[in-house]
Chains A and B, each alone.
Chain A
Amino acid sequence: MTASRILLGAVIAAAIWGKGGSLVQQAPASASAHRNPMAEDTSAKMAGGKLYARECASCHGAMGEGSGKAPPLARPDIRRAAPGSLFWVLRNGALRHGMPSFAHLPEAQRWQIVTFLQKDK
């Protein structure tokens, strides 16, 4: 029973991955091309950490370990992703899959979160 569930989950995950890839990969090239204006800003990294704790940690975990349907964010592919792609994900979310839009945050604060997520690049 457990093995069949794992197999079914793997098939569904493969189908979803094959169809659209991860959310970050769905960002259009025009969005991915945007540079993070706060990339090397230490203050922005700290502010991003505060914003992460406030806006993201309840789902993605305090250390970015993920929980439930929310994937972990402390991952090499997130740290190496195009900053513009992460910014695009924060702006749009994935409403059909439980990820809210954070467009209500000013752009500067979204870049601060991106800076924090990629702090160990």
Chain B
Amino acid sequence: MPRRTDFHALVLILLSLPGTAAWAGEGPFFITYTHQMEEPGNLELATKNATGRPAEGSRWLGSALELEYGARGWWTTEIYLDGEATGGSGVLFNGYRWENRFRPLAREHWINPVLYIEFENINGADRTLLEVVNHDGEEDLATAPGEARAEKQRELEAKLILGSHWRGWTIAENFIAEKNLRHEPYEFGYAMGISRPLALEARPDRCNLCAENFQVGVEMYGGLGTHDEFGLRGTSHYVAPVVAWTLANGTMFRVSPGFGVTSASAGFVMRFGVSYEVAQFSRAVRNLFRGPGASQ
């Protein structure tokens, strides 16, 4: 089972490979997926963190290390390693997720579908909140991690991702269906988001603090119950403004304060993250073993 030091070693090894930085094409969202795929051969390293404090419970921090790779132009594959720290309970590794996204239509349309399938092997103490389904809510976050860890979550998750770009705006909707492979019923959820860069034209000079490097938007996500208890009753929902700032070297910082809008929701969830994309990672790996001429 990986430890935190293993995470750091993995990141250092990946960053030490010869490759150039690239700008991640993804939007500023934490939860909502757009139809944008990872560029073929590129590897994105990212962390997604969420923190909050339930009314009855200790402050928690959920953290996911994300490795996203563009296998093909139409296929993106991704691994998440999830960890968590709750006040007084130490640091725990909670499991992994393996997701794949497939874009069936070759051309860009008004609405662009992407099919998403994920296997996750995590436990009930996971606090990354990468999606909200069923009746997930503040009650789950108040449970002590030691107790919550006993709940194994080996789940398959499918999403229909719909995305559009219109006059500088990015609009995306996700419909989520999740099934615990052991027993639980089908669980449903949704996420949607809209964002836009602060400037649509690029400046001629290389810059960090220019409007084109900032994206702002808002996302909304929540649970929709199960197949025999479908609906909004007792579910949690969040509205979260998002801001992303990309440096000239391609490093992107994101932050998103999320506000629960129903009584079942956690009152406030703060998300933050950083991502860095290595361009043509696969070529860099080949060159490492075969010499620089391998790319020619």
Which residues of A are at the interface with B, using a C-beta cutoff of 8 A? Answer: 43-44, 46-51, 54-55, 57-59, 67-68, 91-109, 112
CB distance from A42 to the nearest CB of B (A): 8
Q: List 28 A-B contacts (CB under 8 A).
A: A47-B204, A49-B204, A50-B203, A50-B204, A51-B202, A54-B23, A55-B23, A59-B41, A59-B280, A67-B296, A68-B283, A92-B107, A92-B108, A93-B108, A94-B73, A95-B37, A96-B74, A100-B25, A100-B40, A100-B73, A103-B36, A103-B108, A104-B36, A106-B200, A108-B201, A109-B200, A109-B202, A112-B201
Does A100 lie within 8 Å of B202, measured CB to CB? no
Specify the main secondary structure of chain B where it touches its partner. loop
CB distance from A92 to the nearest CB of B (A): 5
B254 part of interface (Cβ distance < 8 Å): no
Does B72 lie within 8 Å of A98, measured CB to CB? yes
Does B280 lie within 8 Å of A58, measured CB to CB? yes
B205 part of interface (Cβ distance < 8 Å): yes
The A-contacting residues of B in range 37-55, CB under 8 angstroms, are: 37, 39-42
B152 part of interface (Cβ distance < 8 Å): no
B83 part of interface (Cβ distance < 8 Å): no
Specify the main secondary structure of chain A where it touches its partner. helix
| Chain B residues near A49 (CB-CB < 8 A) | 204
Which residue on B lies nearest to A101, using beta carbons?
B108
Does A50 lie within 8 Å of B206, measured CB to CB? yes
User: B204-238 interface mask toward A, CB cutoff 8 Å, 1 = contact, 0 = none?
Assistant: 11100000100000000000000000000000000
CB distance from B200 to the nearest CB of A (A): 4
Contact for A50 among B107, B168, B197, B202, CB less than 8 A: B202
Given A67-B295, A96-B73, A107-B167, A91 and B108 contact (CB-CB distance below 8 Å): yes
B10 part of interface (Cβ distance < 8 Å): no
CB distance from B96 to the nearest CB of A (A): 27
| Chain A residues near B295 (CB-CB < 8 A) | 67-68
CB distance from B93 to the nearest CB of A (A): 33
CB distance from B167 to the nearest CB of A (A): 7
Q: How far is the CA of A68 from the CA of B42 in the complex (A)?
A: 15
Given A59-B280, A96-B73, A107-B168, A54 and B22 contact (CB-CB distance below 8 Å): yes
Contact for A109 among B36, B73, B201, CB less than 8 A: B201
Given A96-B106, A106-B200, A109-B201, A58 and B206 contact (CB-CB distance below 8 Å): no
Q: How far is the CA of A23 from the CA of B23 in the complex (A)?
A: 24
Which residue on B lies nearest to A48, using beta carbons?
B202
Q: How far is the CA of A43 from the CA of B170 in the complex (A)?
A: 26
Nearest 10 pairs of A and B residues by beta carbon: A46-B204, A95-B73, A58-B279, A106-B200, A47-B202, A108-B201, A106-B168, A95-B74, A108-B200, A104-B25
Does B74 lie within 8 Å of A107, measured CB to CB? no
CB distance from A52 to the nearest CB of B (A): 11
Q: How far is the CA of A91 from the CA of B109 in the complex (A)?
A: 10
| Chain B residues near A100 (CB-CB < 8 A) | 25, 37, 39-40, 70, 73
CB distance from B70 to the nearest CB of A (A): 8
Q: How far is the CA of A38 from the CA of B94 in the complex (A)?
A: 52
